[in-house]
């Protein structure tokens, strides 16, 4: 993934947005400090990533594409 930070920022704005949206749709969320660390570390734990994808689908009414969040490898061994 190009940047989990950009993904979080684009879809949730900030840590409060993460916590609020997860609570809204799942009734559970990490604490605010934990969500802040996701932004700071530029990393989303795998067990929460699927939950984030699910709440975004519920919020938008359709699955979101991750295509824009990935970049092509610069040195492809098959080229």
Q: Answer for the pair 47, 34: CB distance below 8 angstroms, yes or no.
A: no
Q: Answer for the pair 25, 59: CB distance below 8 angstroms, yes or no.
A: yes
pLDDT for 47 equals 93
Q: What number is the average pLDDT over the span 40-68? A: 93
pLDDT for 76 equals 58
Residue 17 pLDDT grade (very low, low, confident, very high; cuts 50, 70, 90): very high
Q: Answer for the pair 32, 16: CB distance below 8 angstroms, yes or no.
A: yes
CA distance 79 to 72: 13
Answering whether pTM is above 0.85, one says no
pLDDT above 90 for 11:
yes
Question: How is the chain split into domains, by residue range?
Answer: 4-61
Could you read off the pLDDT of 34-46 as tens digits, one per residue?
A: 999 999 999 999 9
Query: What 8-state DSSP symbol labels residue 65?
Result: P
CA distance 77 to 66: 23
């Amino acid at each position: 993934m190009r940047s989990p930070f950009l993904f979080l920022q684009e879809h949730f704005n900030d840590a409060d947005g993460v916590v609020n949206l997860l609570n809204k749709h799942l009734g559970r969320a990490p604490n605010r400090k934990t969500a802040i660390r996701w932004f700071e570390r530029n990393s989303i734990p795998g067990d929460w990533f699927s939950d984030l994808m699910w709440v975004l689908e519920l919020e938008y009414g359709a699955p979101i594409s991750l295509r824009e969040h990935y970049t092509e490898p610069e040195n492809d061994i098959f080229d």
